[in-house]
Structure 1
Amino acid sequence: MQERVLHILEYDKVRQHVRGFAATRLGQERLEQMRPLSSIAEAEAELAAVDEALRMLLRRGGIPFGGIRDIRPHLRKAAIGGVLTAGDLNEVAFFIAGGRRARTAIEAAAEAMDIPRLQEMAAGLFDARQTELELRQAIDEDGLVLDQASPELRRIRNQRRAEEARIRERLDQMVRHLQRWLQDPVVTVRGDSFCLPVRVEFKNQVPGVVHDVSSSGATVFIEPQEIVQMSARVRALAAEEDREIERVLQRLSGVVAAVAEPLAENAERLATLDAWMAKAEYARREDAQRPRLRTDGVWRLTGARHPLIPKEAAVPIDIRLGDDFRMVIITGPNTGGKTVTLKTVGLLTLLAMSGCFLTTRSPSDIGWCGEVFADIGDEQSIEQSLSTFSSHMRNIIGMLEHVGPDSLVLLDELGAGTDPAEGAALSMAILDWLKARGARVVATTHYAELKAYAFREPAAINASVEFDVDTLRPTYRLLLGVPGRSNALAIAARLGMPETLIDQARHHLRTDDVRVEDLIAQLEAARREAERLRAEAEQELAEARRERAQWVQEREAFEQSVEQAREAALREAREVVARARTEAERVIRELRDRQRGGPVKDHELVELRKALEDALPEERRVARRKGGDAGRAAVGSTVRVLSVGQKGEVVERSADGRELTVQLGMLRMKVPVDDVEVLSAAPERVQAVRTVKRSVQTVPLQLDIRGQTVEEALPSVDRYLDQAVLSGLPRVTIIHGKGTGALRDGVRRYLSKHPHVSSWAPGGPGEGGDGATVVELK
């Protein structure tokens, strides 16, 4: 792709805008080199990667690139045997840690979403954790060499600190001893030397080296002779420390050199990841859409806007090219948006070929181009004695040698700058040449002849930028299929040009021109009316579709609920019948077996009755209305209380038969007989079970068997426990008295083996003591 075309279409400005979203210098450098890719496969792969990055950005917040610096110069220096500084090694450690964080973030995101390209790029990052540990053991995060970098360095620094401590201690002693000779009782530093501020008249009293004199001359700064000797030892240790630090840095540089190649590969991978995330952030900020690249040379841009025009100011355009026609001839007044349309088509094409999302309202189609050619703007050059026409012709001639079927050609003001007749003729010849080569062309012009050319040429179509004559302002809307008007006379009239001059100008127009202008005006009026009617029709159609969709949804939901209810009712009915049949057969079989063994005990009968009752369907499952008069409302019947509209069960009937007690869920209420509607009468076995229930529900909390023998008492205890369990009592008391203890012991032995008893204990204080037994029931 020619650099001149990239510059004309302002590709470099968008590239710099995208570069601003990169988080690292590596990513910025990669985006500075961004250009249209060489193949559609590469562009599709880049778009897919940016799409993954955008999804990760929206759902997970992107990739953390903190600490990642451009360490490639450090790696090259270490690889050739150079010694890195502590700051360089610190940046390498930060880079390794940053790469690991980026990889971890991508792996975590891959567990929740499908991002194969990001995952593959991150999987290739070399894990230099061991190198990082070695660096961090010797270099802290501020870039300082630590004492533990080597045993020798620790020894030297400890010795140096001890010497410096002795110097400070000795200086403090001198300050106290020589205080009367000092200007101030403090220790000052001049250069690398510790000095005392001695008054000038006492300078001979303090032997040492004079390092400075105050501006007034009243104070001299003397390093005492004793301190000079001690400082010399410190400086010697400092030099030894520097040599040891150099050895440490040389060793660590060798460690980095051993992994220089994989770390350089990490830098390339992180640059790619950062570039992808920057493109994704650009797409998010600009609300851009992923384009569809096509190999058949078809463009379909929907709601496209120029990326450099603010969203709130841009007027989106819709444009097609390459399907029914290969050339679009745009006409209309100056400043109406013709050139912006050209640049928008060209720039979005270049961005799509570079793997960037496009500023369109919805995903749009971009034809893949082998080359984009553009002649836009006035390139008149005084130095080269080139007129506007000559400059345009030179650019177009350069294009014609290289245009092919996969080329996009953008021509602004085709044929301008010369005689209109000759310019129009030359323009049509150029368009014929480009058509013969199979190129896709978007051109702007003012020539009426080119409007006619687009009418009669099947491969071309007219288009125009809309202009509001009433306000004398362009609307910047692109209209396909409608040629534009210059509106020069209308604009002049609106600006106050005398009507006589306007009429005289109209007389000078050729009849054909007037007829064409009138025809275009009629076409525009018809188009506006058609657009208005179309908008109304689309609105009504959308409303009808919404209502139809809502109706279909409600109908499907109703049919589904009916079907589910029917299936549930059938399934429940089958389960109830099967359970009742199975339980009835089991009860009958057990009764026969027990009758063969002798009389059936009362508690056994109670258990069997309870089993039959459990087999009955719940009252809430009665769905069929049976009707009937209120006289059939016996205990156990299912009724509807008419005054409240609720279903319930009759639990009691008054002696005179005029009033019923009905259980409505958690509520029990008395209602007149004529206020109920019988839905279903209770079966005889249900009434029998209800009778048993009512009898057992009056079971007392204690049983007194005092005065009975053990043989007399045990049957009573057994019946009492059965009734207590059936009534749901958790705890009862059996009063047997103390006496001789025979009755107490016999009852307790019996309770220890009874199936309904969970545990028993003697009565506590206030419960009868050992004369009673408290029984916990299962």
Structure 2
Amino acid sequence: MNEKALRVLEYYKIKNMIKNYTQTSAGKDLIDALKPYDNIYEVKEHLEETREALQLLAKKGSPPFEGLYDVREGISRAEKASTLMPGQLLKIANMLRCSRRFKDYVSRKEEEESFRVIEDICEGLVPLKKLEDEILLAVVSEEEISDKASTTLYNIRRALKDKNASIKDKVNSLIRSNSKFLQDNLYTIRGDRYVLPVKAEHKGAVPGLVHDQSSSGSTLFIEPMGLVNLNNEIKELMLKEKAEIERILAELSGKVYDNIVVVKNNANIIWELDFIFAKARFASDTNCTCPSVNDKGIIDIVEARHPLIDSKVVMPISAYLGREFTSLVITGPNTGGKTVTLKTVGLLHLMALSGIMIPARENSTVSFFKEVYADIGDEQSIEQSLSTFSSHMKNIVNIIEKADDQSLALFDELGAGTDPTEGAALAMSILENLRSRGTRIVATTHYSELKGYALKTTGVENASVEFDVETLRPTYRLLIGVPGKSNAFEISNRLGLPEYIINTARENISTDTLKFEELIQSLQEKSIKAENDARISEGLRLEASKLKEKYEEKLFNFQKTRDNAIINAQREAKRLIKEAKEEADEILKNMRELERLGYSSEARQKLEEERKRLKSRLENVEDSMNKKMEDEGEGLSEVKEGQEVFLPSLNQKVIVLSKADSRGEVLVQAGIMKINAKLKDLRASKLTQEEKKERKKREVNLNLKSVSSSIDLRGMDSEEAVYNTDKYLDDAYRAGLGEVTIVHGKGTGILRQAINDMLKRHPHVKSYRLGNYGEGGTGATVVELK
């Protein structure tokens, strides 16, 4: 990618913003080295890793970067088998701990969504728990080694502590006995040896070794002879401590050296993860989304915001090209947002091609370009004797030499800075030459000739930035398909320029030009009116849809309540019959017992007859109830997948999910349960005459309604989305629609999965698939109805 475009489009400012989200200087260095990738595969993979990192931040919180430092210097020393300092070892241990925790951070349970790219990156992390624990056990801080580092060090420090206690007692005794010769009744340390501050005139009264004296010479720091041996012992122990610490550091450094390949690989992966999550945090804070990327030159950016403009004041811009046209000519007044539009389109492409998510709406599309050229701003140079026109032309010459069908060219005020007639002719020639090569072009201009060129040339489209003449302020809206009007007369009139001067100016302009400007104004007014009408009709449609859903929900709840009442009544009747049977059996049992105790066989026979009569009566009641609960008829010999049938054993209607197997069993859906049932136990699901009339009436009424060919579920939770989709598919089926679109968005994929699970078993669905390009991609599911 050429350096000029990166600089002019302020790409480096974006990288500096991302740097603020890194944890280490190694991560910052990776961002410094970042440039747009040179193939579409890498672009998609790096965008995907950023999207996955953003999802991980949302689902699992901040990644385990605590205590992570840049340890490249320590690793470099370890590679040379050098002994590392305690601080370097500690940072390496923290990096290893971070690597191990990252494995746990990205590991997922079976039901969780996978994160393919980041999981693949983390596959290379190798935990070194033993080495990590050994370092953290031995090293307390950058200056301190723990007593637990070794038994020898523990014993040395314990002995050193005892010796210090002994010498302090001895020193205090000497202070008391020689207090009249001392400058102060205290001891001090010189060169790791305990000494007394003796007055210079009494140096002979305290025999010992002189180590130092005060700046005035009035005090001598003398080590009494009685302390020499103790001081020597302490010094010896301190030397042993130092040697043991060096041995421990050398041993730990050796273990790092033994695992240097793994340590270095873990560090490189952690730096990369630091870089990836910095991009994700930037995307989170600037409300970015992951765009689709194509290599066909198609651009469709929806409500894009320039990331360097304050989010509170920036106006969203929507721009598209690459399908019906490949060149966009933007016209309109100064300060209307033309240059911001150019920079937004260019910068967002550079960001996306670098694996950085862009501040735009979901389903935005960018194209892969090998080069982005930008001629924006006034770069006249006094030193090089270049005028504004010359500096622009120098850039354009470079673009003409190198641009091809895999390039995006951005021109600000093309042909400006010279004679208007010649400049307009030159601009048209440049645009036509680049267009013939297949270069995608976005250019801004004030020339009316270029508006006409865009109107009559295939593959070139006009666009304009809207301007409110009443408020004399731009709205910053980009209107594609509408050439811009300069509004010079209207603005001048509003600012107080006399009417006669404006009229004279109008007379100096040709009639064709005035008609052209009036046509532009008429087009703008019609465009604005059409958008307002569309907005109002959309509001009415949503209101009608809500009312429809409200009354359908009421009807559903009413039917559900009625069905529940019937089921409860049937359940209660069964319970009463069962209790009656049990009671009758108990009575007969008691009768037999009484007969055994003395009743005749004749009485027994009569009792049996009564029992049979009672049983027959109960069975007749039960058969009568079952007859009402289910349609009488023979078992079905054949069923189809998705067919609704009646299962008497459950006393409810079920949906057939599979064909009959060799044993004559089929899989059916009963509510949320899936069970196997014999084909002979199934009955045809029939409706009463009243239900048929009611259903026919409802179907006629529903078929008269206008049912949309799509439903938007974005923003709903899974349960609400499944419920709304189920109702929508019923309406679409009754309305006779053959194919509908369910818009669920890309998001985390949970909503898409819930909808797909429901579609698998829905009786109206013949087949379904993810949307193709232009149908919403993976953010939509296209359903073919039976």
> Shared fold by TM > 0.5?
yes
Alpha-carbon distance in structure 2 between the residues aligned to 1:111 and 1:267? 30
Structure 1 letter corresponding to 2:307 = P
Matches within 5 A, 1:390-429: 390-429=390-429
CA shift at 1:298, angstroms?
A: 1.5
Report runs of 4+ in structure 1 exceeding 6 Å deviation: 611-618
**Would you say 1:446 and 2:446 are equivalent positions?**
yes
Distance change (3 Å), C-alpha of 1:201 and 1:161: same
Q: Is the 8 A contact 2:581 2:618 kept in 1?
A: no
Give % identity: 40
CA shift at 1:126, angstroms?
A: 0.8
Deviation string 1:145-189 (CA, Å, 9 cap, x unpaired) is 234444544454444444433332221111100112223211123
The residue number in structure 1 matching 2:104 is 104
Matches within 5 A, 1:179-578: 179-190=179-190, 192-214=192-214, 218-228=218-228, 230-563=230-563, 565-566=565-566, 569=569, 575=574
**Would you say 1:30 and 2:34 are equivalent positions?**
no
Unaligned runs of 5+ in 2: 601-606, 629-786
The residue number in structure 2 matching 1:91 is 91
Alpha-carbon distance in structure 2 between the residues aligned to 1:198 and 1:477? 88
**Partner SS for 1:443:** strand
Relative to structure 2, which stretch is displaced further, 252-261 or 148-157? 148-157
Alpha-carbon distance in structure 1 between the residues aligned to 2:211 and 2:494? 88
Q: Is the 8 A contact 1:125 1:269 kept in 2?
A: yes
Distance change (3 Å), C-alpha of 1:78 and 1:360: same
The residue number in structure 1 matching 2:745 is none
Q: How many residues align?
A: 620
Q: Is the 8 A contact 2:337 2:476 kept in 1?
A: yes
CA shift at 1:287, angstroms?
A: 1.8
Q: Is the 8 A contact 1:297 1:406 kept in 2?
A: yes
Deviation string 1:596-615 (CA, Å, 9 cap, x unpaired) is 535579xxx9xx9xx99999
The residue number in structure 2 matching 1:646 is none
The residue number in structure 1 matching 2:48 is 48
Structure 2 letter corresponding to 1:480 = I
Distance change (3 Å), C-alpha of 1:554 and 1:292: farther
The residue number in structure 1 matching 2:139 is 139
Matches within 5 A, 1:639-654: none
Alpha-carbon distance in structure 1 between the residues aligned to 2:142 and 2:620? 81
Distance change (3 Å), C-alpha of 1:24 and 1:363: farther
Alpha-carbon distance in structure 2 between the residues aligned to 1:225 and 1:177? 14
Q: Is the 8 A contact 2:577 2:618 kept in 1?
A: no
Q: Is the 8 A contact 1:328 1:463 kept in 2?
A: yes
The residue number in structure 2 matching 1:170 is 170
Distance change (3 Å), C-alpha of 1:616 and 1:343: farther
Q: Is the 8 A contact 1:26 1:267 kept in 2?
A: no
Alpha-carbon distance in structure 1 between the residues aligned to 2:307 and 2:599? 95
Relative to structure 2, which stretch is displaced further, 102-111 or 256-265? 102-111
Q: Is the 8 A contact 1:53 1:280 kept in 2?
A: yes
CA shift at 1:210, angstroms?
A: 4.5
Q: Is the 8 A contact 2:321 2:327 kept in 1?
A: yes
Deviation string 1:526-548 (CA, Å, 9 cap, x unpaired) is 33333332222222122122222
Distance change (3 Å), C-alpha of 1:319 and 1:98: same
CA shift at 1:414, angstroms?
A: 0.7
Deviation string 1:723-762 (CA, Å, 9 cap, x unpaired) is xxxxxxxxxxxxxxxxxxxxxxxxxxxxxxxxxxxxxxxx
Relative to structure 2, which stretch is displaced further, 25-34 or 339-348? 25-34
Alpha-carbon distance in structure 2 between the residues aligned to 1:147 and 1:534? 77
Structure 2 letter corresponding to 1:278 = A
Distance change (3 Å), C-alpha of 1:37 and 1:568: farther
Q: Is the 8 A contact 1:576 1:615 kept in 2?
A: no
The residue number in structure 1 matching 2:11 is 11
Deviation string 1:24-78 (CA, Å, 9 cap, x unpaired) is 3343333332222232222222233222222221122131111222223222211
Distance change (3 Å), C-alpha of 1:123 and 1:153: same
Structure 1 letter corresponding to 2:25 = R
**Partner SS for 1:401:** helix
Alpha-carbon distance in structure 1 between the residues aligned to 2:287 and 2:551? 34
Structure 2 letter corresponding to 1:24 = T
The residue number in structure 1 matching 2:63 is 63
CA shift at 1:219, angstroms?
A: 4.0
CA shift at 1:332, angstroms?
A: 0.9
Distance change (3 Å), C-alpha of 1:109 and 1:194: farther
**Partner SS for 1:320:** strand
The residue number in structure 1 matching 2:127 is 127
* Aligned-residue RMSD, C-alpha: 3.7
Structure 2 letter corresponding to 1:4 = K
Distance change (3 Å), C-alpha of 1:230 and 1:519: same
Distance change (3 Å), C-alpha of 1:509 and 1:212: farther
Alpha-carbon distance in structure 1 between the residues aligned to 2:569 and 2:39? 64
Q: Is the 8 A contact 1:62 1:277 kept in 2?
A: no
Relative to structure 2, which stretch is displaced further, 105-114 or 549-558? 105-114
CA shift at 1:415, angstroms?
A: 0.8
Deviation string 1:377-401 (CA, Å, 9 cap, x unpaired) is 1111121122221222221221223
Matches within 5 A, 1:699-718: none
Taking structure 1 as the reference length, the TM-score comes to 0.72
CA shift at 1:282, angstroms?
A: 1.9
Taking structure 2 as the reference length, the TM-score comes to 0.72
The residue number in structure 2 matching 1:114 is 114
Distance change (3 Å), C-alpha of 1:507 and 1:220: farther
Structure 2 letter corresponding to 1:136 = L
Alpha-carbon distance in structure 1 between the residues aligned to 2:16 and 2:120? 28
Alpha-carbon distance in structure 1 between the residues aligned to 2:109 and 2:417? 59
Structure 2 letter corresponding to 1:42 = E
Alpha-carbon distance in structure 1 between the residues aligned to 2:488 and 2:228? 95
Distance change (3 Å), C-alpha of 1:173 and 1:446: same
- Select the structure of larger CA radius of gyration: 1
The residue number in structure 1 matching 2:596 is 597
Alpha-carbon distance in structure 1 between the residues aligned to 2:457 and 2:423? 18
Distance change (3 Å), C-alpha of 1:493 and 1:204: farther
CA shift at 1:568, angstroms?
A: 5.5
Alpha-carbon distance in structure 2 between the residues aligned to 1:79 and 1:58? 38
Q: Is the 8 A contact 1:319 1:480 kept in 2?
A: yes
CA shift at 1:284, angstroms?
A: 1.8
Structure 1 letter corresponding to 2:11 = Y
Alpha-carbon distance in structure 2 between the residues aligned to 1:599 and 1:454? 116
CA shift at 1:419, angstroms?
A: 1.1
Q: Is the 8 A contact 1:594 1:600 kept in 2?
A: no
Deviation string 1:430-454 (CA, Å, 9 cap, x unpaired) is 1111111112111101111001111
Relative to structure 2, which stretch is displaced further, 239-248 or 360-369? 239-248
Alpha-carbon distance in structure 1 between the residues aligned to 2:60 and 2:155? 49
Alpha-carbon distance in structure 1 between the residues aligned to 2:87 and 2:113? 39
Q: Is the 8 A contact 1:53 1:118 kept in 2?
A: yes
Q: Is the 8 A contact 1:283 1:289 kept in 2?
A: yes
CA shift at 1:84, angstroms?
A: 0.8
CA shift at 1:412, angstroms?
A: 0.9
CA shift at 1:594, angstroms?
A: 5.0
Q: Is the 8 A contact 2:466 2:479 kept in 1?
A: yes
**Partner SS for 2:402:** coil
Alpha-carbon distance in structure 1 between the residues aligned to 2:59 and 2:551? 35
CA shift at 1:368, angstroms?
A: 2.0
Alpha-carbon distance in structure 2 between the residues aligned to 1:576 and 1:204? 116
Alpha-carbon distance in structure 2 between the residues aligned to 1:44 and 1:600? 94
CA shift at 1:142, angstroms?
A: 4.9
**Would you say 1:579 and 2:587 are equivalent positions?**
no
Structure 1 letter corresponding to 2:531 = E
